[in-house]
Amino acid sequence: MKKTYILDTNVLLHDPQAIFKFEDNNLAIPITVIEEIDGFKKNLNETGRNARQFSRFLDALRKDHSLTEGVPLESGGNLTVELYTEEALNRLPPELRSDRGDNRILAVALKFKERLDGPVVFVTKDTNLRIKADAIGLTAEDYESDKVSIDELYTGATEILVGKDQVDDFYARGFLEIDCECRANQFVTLVDESNPSHTALARYQCPLNRLVALIPTPKEGLWGIHPRNREQQFAFDLLLNDDIQLVSLIGMAGTGKTLLALAAGLHMAADEDHYNRLLVSRPVFPLGRDLGFLPGDIEEKLAPWMQPIFDNIELLLGSVDEEGKRKRGYRELVDMGLLEIEALTYIRGRSIPNQYLIVDESQNLTPHEIKTIVTRAGEGTKVVLTGDPYQIDNPYVDSSSNGLTYVVEKFKDQDVAGHITLQKGERSCLAELAANLL
C-alpha cells in the first residue's frame, strides 16, 4: 500500500531533492512550508541556495499539472500542495491552536490522516515537532535518506586468518593473491592461524584482486613524525599514495588525524614535489559562545579559527633533519608558495589542480558542502578529509548525517578512495583517557 508523506520545511531546506527520494509514495507539502521556504530564498548561505533550488524544482513541476490536484512524479507517486484552513487548526488540542507555522503544518498533516485510509507519515528533522506529532496521533519520522549508521560505519580495516606459508610468501614477494571479500583499498592484517603474533599488514588492491605491501615510511619519518600504531601506518599508506585521490580519516581527539595529514602533505608538496602546494582549510564553527566580529584583514580574521592548524605545523617545524638543522619556518613555506591556509567560505566556483588539499573538522560539513569541496578537485589534486563524528559543532548535522560519514559510505567501493578509522589516542595518556571517559 502506498504511503502519504507530509514534508516539513527543514527537510526541504536540508535536501531540496527530497521530493524525488520517496519512491512511488505520495507526497504532500503544506502551503505554510512554501511560505517559510520563501523567507529563506534571499539568504546567501547553504540554506538560501537549497531554498532557491527547491522553488525551481517545484516551479518546473507545476508547469504541466496543477499542484492542488497533484503532479505525477517520475518515481510513480504524486505531489500535492495542501492549503491550510482554520477548521483544520481547530482540530488540534487547545495548546497547539496558536497561529504558528509548526501548528499549521501539524493541522494539515492531521487533516490528511483523518481523510485518507492509507498510512500517513509526517517527516521532519525537528525533534520537538516529531514529539508533538506523535502526541496528537500522527506517525512521525526523521528524514534519513542521507543518514549513515555511525555504529555500522565502514572502518577501512579487517583481519584475515591465513597459513604460515602465506604470511611468509607475502613478506618474500611484497604481495599475495588471495580470494577475499574486501573493499577497494581496505587494509588487511594477515594473522598466522598457528601463531597469532606472526602477522603482516597489507592493503587490498581491487583491480588485481591481491594484497600489496604498505608504502614504507622514511627512516627519518615524515617531518619527524613516525606512525605509533597500526592504524597510523595504514593512514600514512593512504596519504602517500598518489593513486588514491580521496582519503578520509576518522578518529577521536588525539588520534593524530590532522598531524598525520599535515606531515604527509608537507612531505609530498615540499620534499617530494609531487604537488604544487599544500592547501589546508577547515569550516568556521565556534565551540561555545562566539566572540563576535574579529578585526583586521582576512588573514587576521582567520588566525583564531586556524590556530589548531598552526599548532600542528609548529610541532612539525620544530623537528630537525638528520644533520640536526631546523626545518623551514612556517612563514617561509607560505612565502615560497608551498603552503596556504584559507577558509572554506570562498571555495565555491574554484578549480584546484595539482594540490594536496586537507579539510580539517569535516564532520561539521553537510553532505552537500562536502560534494561542493570534492568537486573542486582538479587534475592531480588529492583531497584529505579528517574529523570526528562525535565532536560536531554544527547544529544542523549529527553523527549520522554529516558530510564526513556520508563520503565514507559513498566512496567505500571506489578504487580512487581510501578510509581508515584511527582507534588509539597518541596525544597523551590524559587526552586518551578523557576522550574515552568524558
Asked, colleague to colleague, whether 4-141 and 232-437 share their fold, the answer is yes
Q: How many beta carbons lie within 10 A of that of residue 206, not counting itself?
A: 15
3-class DSSP assignment, residue 304: coil
Is 384:420 a contact under the CB 8 Å cutoff? no
Distance CA 120, CA 262 (A): 50
28 in helix, strand or coil?
Answer: strand
* Residue 161 predicted with pLDDT over 50: yes
Identify the residue with better confidence: 313 or 148.
Answer: 313
| 42, 43, 45, 49: CA torsion to nearest 10 | -30
The better pLDDT of the pair 64, 260 is held by 260
Tens digits of residue pLDDT in 41-99: 888 777 888 899 999 999 998 888 888 888 888 888 899 998 888 887 788 888 888 88
pLDDT at 381: 94
* pLDDT at position 328: 56
| pLDDT tens-place string over residues 362-416 | 998 888 888 888 998 889 999 999 999 988 877 777 788 888 999 999 999 999 9
Confidence check: pLDDT of 248 > 50: yes
Q: For residue 395, what pLDDT is reported?
A: 72
Q: Please write the tens of the pLDDT for every residue from 103-154.
A: 899 888 888 888 888 899 999 988 899 999 999 889 999 887 766 777 788 9
pTM of the full structure = 0.74
The fraction of the chain above a pLDDT of 70, given in percent, is: 90
Model confidence pLDDT, tens digit, residues 189-229: 999 999 999 999 999 998 888 999 999 988 888 888 899 99
Provide the grid cell at 54.
527547491
Query: Which residues are CB-neighbours of 306 under 8 A, at least 6 positions away?
Result: 280, 282, 341
Tell me the residue length of the chain. Answer: 438
CA 189 – CA 199 distance, rounded (Å): 7
> 167-184, pLDDT tens digit by residue?
999 999 999 988 888 999
Contact 238, 416 (CB under 8 A): no
Q: What are phi and psi of 256, to 5 degrees?
A: 95, 15
pLDDT surpassing 60 at residue 327:
no
Percentage of residues in the chain having pLDDT higher than 90: 39
CA 281 to chain centre: 15
Domain 4-141 fold is Rossmann fold (3.40.50)
Amino acid 93: pLDDT: 85
3-state secondary structure of 325: coil
Task: State how far the Cα of 356 lies from the Cα of 262, in Å rounded to an integer.
Answer: 10
Residues 6+ apart with CB under 8 A from 405: 148, 150, 153, 250, 363, 389, 399
The reported pLDDT for the residue numbered 432 is 75
pLDDT at 146: 63
pLDDT category, 299, cuts 50, 70, 90? low
Range with the lowest mean pLDDT among 259-268, 312-321, 346-355?
312-321
pLDDT of residue 286: 47
The CATH classification of domain 232-437, taken from the options 3.40.640.10, 3.30.2130.10, 3.40.50.300, 3.40.50.10880: 3.40.50.300
**Are 421 and 157 in contact, with CB atoms under 8 Å apart?**
yes
Q: Does the pLDDT at position 240 exceed 90?
A: yes
Check if the beta carbon of residue 265 is closer than 8 Å to that of residue 257. Answer: no
- Residue 78 makes CB contacts below 8 A (sequence gap 6+) with 26, 27, 70, 71, 72
CA–CA separation, 409 vs 148, rounded Å? 7
Residue 199 belongs to what H/E stretch? strand 199-205
230 has pLDDT over 60: yes
| Cα gap 49→47, rounded to integer Å | 5
Check pLDDT > 90 for residue 285: no
| pLDDT-based confidence at residue 293 (cuts at 50, 70, 90) | low
| Weakest-pLDDT range from 133-142, 292-301, 326-335, 405-414 | 292-301
Average model confidence (pLDDT) across the chain = 85
Rounded mean pLDDT, 285-301: 55
Burial-class residue 335 by CB neighbours within 10 Å (0-12, 13-18, 19+): exposed
DSSP assignment of 365-386 equals: S-HHHHHHHHTTB-TT-EEEEE
Give the model's pLDDT for residue 168: 93
Domain residue spans of the chain: 4-141, 232-437
The residue written with cell numbers 578529509 in the block is 385
**Do the strands 382-387 and 4-7 form a parallel or antiparallel pair, or are they unpaired?**
unpaired
Indicate the helix (H) or strand (E) that contains 158: strand 157-162
